[in-house]
A and B are shown apart, each in its own frame.
Chain A
Amino acid sequence: MGPLSNEEVIRKVSTNFVPIAVNTRKMRDKSIDTPSTRFFRKVSDQTTQGQGVWIVTPEGKVLAAYHGPSDLTERTRGFLETIDAGLNAFGEVTPREFKLMNPLPYRGAGVEEDGQVTLAISIRGTNGGGKPGHPVVVEEHSAWLWKGEFRQAGYAIFDSVTFTAKEWTSFAPAQTEVGAEWTIPVAVASQFARVVAGRTDRSTMFRAEDAKLAKLTCKIEAVEGGVARIRLIGGFDAVHAVESNKNKPVFGQAVAEGIALYDLNRRSMQSLLLVFHGTFRDVPPHDKTAHPVSAAVEWRVEAEKR
């Protein structure tokens, strides 16, 4: 939970500014030349920071900028000081009323016009819950991490995975009687490798091509009221070389258990829930402990109306 979840920061940003969120890699991609990328480069060239916050005029003049330390209290204070400095430099601003917007309306809900769907992914370090069926042999010194009730043990990582219309059809049954079984193609299942994350940054994120095992099977276990209940069971194993050092891989493993509902009359998926339990090993020499990590992957057919 960073400074952007601080209520004073939220109030000041929402009522005084036009807030924009961008990916610096896309903005700095020299093959992309648009008014947006030109504006961003004009702004970022005025300071030495590579990412963070810039307070700028509509013409692109930087009034204040900040990329603070990891300490949350100090960083939040830095955000507020930067906001105030930017507002003072800009001059009078009429506070605006704003309405809540959803910048990711298809995250975890609905089908887009071209048929693609985006599953919402939530990842978190967890403790407890035991380890029946767990995919990794856990060293004795860290076995305590699985004792007790299943509980949170870290911050949540907010992520998603998008499937094309063709990929999404692999989750639907070809045969609709109870007991029908099928396997999700490896190219599709591999895209779940990213859920076994120990950290939020993309440098340690498992890509589909990092998957050494990506097995996800489906079986209709019941049909009630024209809706098939599909049981999903999976196993995943991935190794990823971090961008800064190709000789330092991270390791992730997980098992998955889930249920999807499929409307047999409409021939369409209604919902999907997958829960992953696994372990993440950081780069050497920090790979001695397998850290428990869990993920929830969700989607429902109704798009949110906001």
Chain B
Amino acid sequence: MKASFAITVVLWSVHVVAAAERPTLQELTTKAAIIKPRPDELKWQHIPWLTDVAEAVRLAKQEKRPIFLWATTDEPLERC
């Protein structure tokens, strides 16, 4: 694995100079669409999340409803 860094440097140099034709914005956008989350992978965003606990407690008291507390060791609405 130690050799990988050197390989990366060499091949990155090749990557920079070798490509006669660079991808267009349209081609990059098409690739990005394959990588990005599909709509069914983003359904959790439909939940009206709050991130301020104190504000959520205030709202729950005002509306007389329970709190759904979702907690993870990462940022639950970001890297997930």
Point out residues on A near B: beta carbons under 8 Å.
Answer: 1-2, 4-7, 10, 13-14, 16-25, 27, 34-37, 39-40, 43-44, 50-58, 60, 63, 83, 86-87, 90, 93-94, 96, 98-104, 107, 122-124, 126, 129, 132-137, 150-152, 155-160, 200-202, 205, 212-213, 215, 217, 221, 229, 231, 233-237, 251, 253, 255, 257-259, 273, 275, 281, 287, 294-296, 298
Contacts and interface: CB of A to CB of B under 8 A. Distances in A.
Contacts of B37: 122, 156, 158
B51 A22 contact: yes
A18 B70 CA distance: 11
B69 A53 contact: yes
Interface string B24-48: 0100110110111110111111111
A93 B44 contact: no
Given A20-B68, A21-B51, A156 B41 contact: yes
A57 B79 contact: no
Nearest to A158: B80
A164 to B, nearest CB: 18
Contact of A20 (B7, B49, B61): B49
Contact of B53 (A36, A100, A255, A281): A36
A151 B78 contact: no
A22 to B, nearest CB: 5
Contacts of B63: 18, 94, 96
A260 B15 CA distance: 19
A129 B31 CA distance: 10
B77 A103 contact: yes
Contacts of A39: 53-54, 57
Contact of B32 (A23, A215, A273): A273
Give the residue among A44, A90, A151, A237 with the most B Cβ atoms within 10 A: A237
B67 A136 contact: no
29 contacts: A4-B43, A10-B44, A18-B59, A18-B66, A20-B50, A24-B71, A27-B71, A35-B57, A44-B71, A53-B71, A58-B66, A60-B57, A86-B66, A101-B49, A122-B37, A133-B14, A158-B78, A158-B80, A159-B78, A200-B79, A229-B25, A235-B11, A236-B8, A237-B5, A237-B9, A273-B32, A275-B23, A281-B1, A296-B36
Given A4-B44, A122-B35, A235-B9, 9 more contacts: A17-B66, A18-B50, A35-B54, A55-B68, A58-B57, A122-B32, A156-B35, A213-B5, A213-B9
A215 B72 CA distance: 33
